[in-house]
Structure 1
Amino acid sequence: MSLARSSLIVGLAAIASRLIGFARDVMIARVLGAGMAADAFLLAFRLPNVARRVFGEGGLNAGFVPLYSRIRAERGEAEAGRFAGQAMSGASVALLGLTALVELAAPLVVMALGAGYAAEADKFALAVTYLRLAFPFVALAGLASLIGAYLNADRRYTAAAMAPVLVNVLMIAVLMMLDVPDEETAIRQGWWLSLAVSISGLVHLGIVVVALLRDPGRFTWQRPRLTPDIRRLARRVLPATAASGATQLAVVVATAVASQEPSAVSWLYYADRVAQLPLSLIGVAVGTVLLSDVAARLAAGDHQGAAIAQARALEGALALALPAAVALAILAGPISIVLFQRGAFGPEDAAGTATLLRMLAIGLPAAATAKVLAQPFFAREALRIPIAGGMACLVVTGLAGLALQPAMGVAGIGLGLSLGLGVNALVLWGAARSVAPAFPAGMARRVSLLFAAALAMGVGLAAGMRWLAPWLIADQLAVKAGALALLCVSGLALYAGVARGIGAIEPQFLRWRRP
């Protein structure tokens, strides 16, 4: 199966998960709005949500897959299977210990995530309660993702890719049983939602365990042992996961800044959810398929093939990220209104979400570029550069957000996050150029043409918004949604037509095959 086709399968599963996740978030906005209960729940949900995204976009793959591939190439399938079993049992112990620690230290964790809540005792206490109910998801989903990494290393992607879809379905089922509340009722409903988060992690784990037991290969469960290979994995998996999840951790830093302003945590959450939709297709595909492919090529000594696979992935990532960024920046207002403005989520909340979405759109191409450029470093187990880029991203996000917020309000928080993502991409780009300065011929030209096609699409969308303005502000939701859908479909068709017409997209990278 081609690299592009495998990426498409995993990416489409991720898109399905995110679309259903959108339905979940629309229902959360309807049920909780952007008041105290929503702010408390979404802050508590931040860590499980970041863990889900980091794990789902291949965060554990970055630490596990290269080492597993090397053991399999050097010592055989049986030894690799024993190593995988030891990794699973060791991870179970470590994740249970982490969960117990967070349960005990939940007030300190909430203080770190949202220092601005300290001035509101009720909101702070509520966030602590929600965190304790929801955090077990991290242990359950973490173990599930490590099992998924094993399946991905064997190039079995389906179960691990589809599990989040069913997890989101479970969350929607819970939300359908809840009504649009007043603030007091919203607090009780937040308890049920927090508990449902942990239950969804158990469902995720169950799905991948069933897939593993159906076809275990050479995998054998082992008791936890601190072998040299496990020590090596431990030294790599946490830094690799942190570096792979730099984008998600930067959102956590931005959330801490946003906690100083009422409702800003909720607005940032919803804006980030929209911005993550195109990034999911890119992030999950390259973090799962590209890493496995590059690791296998490097283990086989095919350095040229690994470089070409990375270059093709970068072109594909930018082919999606550039038009997505332009579209989100232009359509932020209608998107926020159509998706979220209902029930307890009012016009002011939609406006705040749209403002942040425009700022986040600026950093989308940088986030996609960084995701691709980091994979060869993970495959080589060379983590210093991705870690340096991730740390720079977090520092810039926090400092820029704090500096820009007084003058720009919530827009400054979003712009600070985009600046941090840009710094991460620049660090990785400079290091990648020093390692492999020669990219395939014509790549710079094709990327420039992709940018031109995205701008042409932007001009078309701006004109379409003026033409459809009466429908976009209609009272009926179906009319507004129809006008927005027409803009999206027309913009996609315009971009594809222009890109194909000027030669920005060439079909050969779709035919790139594994050895």
Structure 2
Amino acid sequence: MLKGFLTVGGWTMLSRILGLVRDQLLAAFMGAGAMQDAYQVAFRLPNMFRRLFGEGAFNAAFVPLFSSALTTDGEERARTMARQVFGVLLSWLVILCVLGEIFMPGILRVIAPGFSENSDRYDLAVTLSRITFPYLVLICAAALVSGVLNGLHRFSMAAAAYLSFNIVGIAAVLFATPFMPSVAHAAAWGVTLSGFVQLGLLMLAARRAGFDLTPLPPRITPQIRLLGRRMLPGLIGSGVTQINLTIDTIIATLLPAGSVSLMYFADRLNQLPLGVLGAAAGTTLLPVLTRHLAADDQEAAHATQNKALDYVLMLTLPAMAGLLVLATPIMQFLFAHGSFTLHEAALSAQSLRAYALGLPAFVLIKVLSPAFFARGDTSTPVKIGFFTLTVNLILNLLLMKPLVHVGPPLASSLAAILNVCILSSLLIRRDALRPEASTFGRLGLMAAASVVMALALCGLNSFLPMPTQHVTLWLGVLLTIEVPLGGLLYLLGLQVFGVLDLASALASMRQRLNRRRKKA
């Protein structure tokens, strides 16, 4: 599982880095105003489908069914099932897309109620949404092909294809803008074009793996009915984080202009560790758990779950602490260029801190949900999802006025923490999660090492005043020093507290590198 975790995590990290470059271009060209708000709302709806399907409900329901069919019925039956699902999925998505294009003005009044007060921003959002909406057809189809590749344990090909989203997006902003009414139009067309590229690359990868996935005419079979029963409730259960973020966007449209943009760029930076760790853990954990449970190997399933929890907490706790301390210099260094000012970056950093408080919880939802899905239970996460969605909405309404652009991110973080508490307690009660005796002790020591790192960075920042000139250069130097220093302090803290043996870890890494060199 660790190999698959690192493979998916590595490709996802590269994709997130390219995503930061794309977001830097969007910030530099559009700043944090009405045009940026309109584009971000236009992108939110298809992007939510991407995350729900690519990293959530569809993957959670389809991969176990496909893996079981592959194991029990053979490759040919599994391929036929996948092609049948593909045909039904495409038919449903095309109908949904056509309806979305027709009724887009009404949809925008629901997901962006604040835009109706400004006709120009509303009209632009409708136009951009109609451009980006076909992306949901393409990316959901790509999710099916990716699920097949994951079921075949070809994680690298499935993860690498998603790089094209940011590559095409960057190219669209840089080269298509002169031929479009605005940079927002160019970026919107880049979204849809990237969907064609991603789906094409994944279909090619599946063909090379010996799996022809040409969709069959739509026909409702017993397996498709089972997939639907498992998938529909999982849209809330596994995608509650994304739905919470969509609620944040709805609330943000009711706030002053630019709030949507400030929260978007904060979320994008928070998505760097969240996407890398959450997507990697969720993607690799589900098929492994399914295989262990199919073999009735409960001990192996529990050990796998505990390893996943240990991996993600060891990495997300210092990431949370680092973002809390370094949010302002990071946001200013990355985004305070062109039309995006230092002040706007500092405001966005406030939203980032609120998101960072829930970072471990956001990732743990991705790790705990597969324990339900692998056992064929998608109803429990949906019940928890409905409850936490309600809590998130209530918190949003309570916090939006006093905290403005900080309120919705803080509401999402608190809702995610509550979600994790309920998921973990139910899994423990059902004996589907057995934390080892040392787990809670290790968690406390990891948290202590993170706090020591954060305090050291705070102390260093207090002695380094912000210059009035060459601010970007200074911030780059500062982060070049503080980020590696923080990582080193955290590793030393783990060593001192006995959580990690650095010498053994380095020796293990050398052995793996040597084995790879010999194979090459």
The TM-score bracket by the shorter chain reads over 0.9
> Are the counterparts in 1 of residues 57 and 235 from structure 2 also a CA contact under 8 Å?
yes
Cα deviation, residue 493, structure 1:
1.2
Matched, 1:227 2:221: yes
Cα deviation, residue 88, structure 1:
1.2
> Structure 1: which amino acid aligns with 2:324?
A
Partner of 2:201: 207
1:102-141 superposed Cα distances (whole Å, 9 cap, x missing partner): 1111112211211111111111111111000001111101
> Are the counterparts in 1 of residues 270 and 359 from structure 2 also a CA contact under 8 Å?
yes
Report the identity percentage.
34
Matched, 1:466 2:437: no
Cα deviation, residue 390, structure 1:
2.0
| Runs of 4+ that moved beyond 6 A | none
Partner of 2:165: 167
1:210-265 superposed Cα distances (whole Å, 9 cap, x missing partner): 00111224867533211100111122223224322211111000111111112111
> Are the counterparts in 1 of residues 6 and 280 from structure 2 also a CA contact under 8 Å?
yes
Partner of 2:175: 177
Partner of 1:17: 15
Of 44, 63, 79, which aligns to 1:46?
A: 44
Q: Specify the SS of the correspondent of 1:469.
A: coil
Partner of 2:517: none
Partner of 1:382: 377
Pairing of 1:23-422 with structure 2 (within 5 A): 23-177=21-175, 188-217=182-211, 221-261=215-255, 262-422=257-417
Separation in 2 of the partners of 1:411 and 1:67? 41
> Are the counterparts in 2 of residues 401 and 412 from structure 1 also a CA contact under 8 Å?
yes
Cα deviation, residue 491, structure 1:
0.5
Q: Which runs of 5+ in 2 are unaligned?
A: 510-520
Separation in 2 of the partners of 1:212 and 1:294? 23
> Are the counterparts in 2 of residues 63 and 241 from structure 1 also a CA contact under 8 Å?
no
Separation in 2 of the partners of 1:425 and 1:265? 26
Of 413-422 and 307-316, more deviation after overlay is shown by 413-422
Cα deviation, residue 320, structure 1:
1.1
> Are the counterparts in 1 of residues 180 and 186 from structure 2 also a CA contact under 8 Å?
no
1:132-164 superposed Cα distances (whole Å, 9 cap, x missing partner): 000111110110111000110110111210111
Matched, 1:448 2:444: yes
1:457-485 superposed Cα distances (whole Å, 9 cap, x missing partner): 101111222233346x6524233212112
Partner of 2:418: 423
> Are the counterparts in 2 of residues 29 and 345 from structure 1 also a CA contact under 8 Å?
yes
Partner of 1:438: 434
> Are the counterparts in 2 of residues 390 and 424 from structure 1 also a CA contact under 8 Å?
yes
Partner of 2:513: none
Of 404-413 and 204-213, more deviation after overlay is shown by 404-413
Separation in 2 of the partners of 1:130 and 1:398? 27
> Structure 1: which amino acid aligns with 2:198?
H
Partner of 1:481: 476
Q: Specify the SS of the correspondent of 1:409.
A: helix
Cα deviation, residue 347, structure 1:
2.8
1:315-371 superposed Cα distances (whole Å, 9 cap, x missing partner): 111111111111111111111111111111123321220110111111111111221
> Are the counterparts in 2 of residues 69 and 299 from structure 1 also a CA contact under 8 Å?
no
Separation in 2 of the partners of 1:272 and 1:483? 23
> Are the counterparts in 2 of residues 461 and 491 from structure 1 also a CA contact under 8 Å?
yes
Separation in 1 of the partners of 2:471 and 2:261? 25
Separation in 1 of the partners of 2:12 and 2:52? 13
Separation in 1 of the partners of 2:69 and 2:450? 44
Q: Specify the SS of the correspondent of 1:225.
A: coil
> Are the counterparts in 2 of residues 89 and 224 from structure 1 also a CA contact under 8 Å?
yes
> Are the counterparts in 2 of residues 450 and 505 from structure 1 also a CA contact under 8 Å?
no
C-alpha distance 470-122 of structure 1, shift in aligned 2 (>3 A): closer
> Structure 2: which amino acid aligns with 1:17?
S
> Structure 2: which amino acid aligns with 1:78?
E
Q: Which runs of 5+ in 1 are unaligned?
A: none
> Are the counterparts in 1 of residues 230 and 377 from structure 2 also a CA contact under 8 Å?
no
Separation in 1 of the partners of 2:399 and 2:278? 28
> Are the counterparts in 2 of residues 59 and 287 from structure 1 also a CA contact under 8 Å?
no
> Structure 2: which amino acid aligns with 1:493?
L
Q: Specify the SS of the correspondent of 2:80.
A: helix
> Are the counterparts in 1 of residues 252 and 259 from structure 2 also a CA contact under 8 Å?
yes
| TM-score between both structures, scaled by the size of structure 2 | 0.92
Cα deviation, residue 59, structure 1:
4.2
Cα deviation, residue 178, structure 1:
6.5
> Are the counterparts in 2 of residues 71 and 80 from structure 1 also a CA contact under 8 Å?
yes
> Are the counterparts in 2 of residues 58 and 288 from structure 1 also a CA contact under 8 Å?
no
Separation in 2 of the partners of 1:455 and 1:9? 29
> Are the counterparts in 1 of residues 40 and 264 from structure 2 also a CA contact under 8 Å?
yes
> Are the counterparts in 1 of residues 8 and 155 from structure 2 also a CA contact under 8 Å?
yes
Separation in 2 of the partners of 1:53 and 1:469? 40
Separation in 2 of the partners of 1:176 and 1:221? 35
> Structure 1: which amino acid aligns with 2:74?
G
Separation in 2 of the partners of 1:341 and 1:187? 24
Separation in 1 of the partners of 2:68 and 2:196? 31
Q: Specify the SS of the correspondent of 2:182.
A: helix
Of 311-320 and 56-65, more deviation after overlay is shown by 56-65
Separation in 2 of the partners of 1:75 and 1:59? 24
Q: Specify the SS of the correspondent of 1:34.
A: coil
Partner of 2:487: 492
Q: Specify the SS of the correspondent of 2:254.
A: coil
1:389-430 superposed Cα distances (whole Å, 9 cap, x missing partner): 222232222210110122222222221111111121112111
Cα deviation, residue 307, structure 1:
1.2
> Are the counterparts in 2 of residues 26 and 340 from structure 1 also a CA contact under 8 Å?
yes
> Structure 1: which amino acid aligns with 2:416?
L
Separation in 1 of the partners of 2:127 and 2:237? 29
Cα deviation, residue 45, structure 1:
0.7
Separation in 1 of the partners of 2:230 and 2:129? 28
Cα deviation, residue 23, structure 1:
0.4
Separation in 2 of the partners of 1:106 and 1:45? 13
> Are the counterparts in 2 of residues 78 and 219 from structure 1 also a CA contact under 8 Å?
no
> Are the counterparts in 2 of residues 66 and 380 from structure 1 also a CA contact under 8 Å?
no
Cα deviation, residue 187, structure 1:
6.1
Count of residues paired in the alignment: 503
> Are the counterparts in 1 of residues 278 and 364 from structure 2 also a CA contact under 8 Å?
no
Separation in 1 of the partners of 2:153 and 2:39? 37
Cα deviation, residue 48, structure 1:
2.2
Separation in 2 of the partners of 1:222 and 1:427? 41
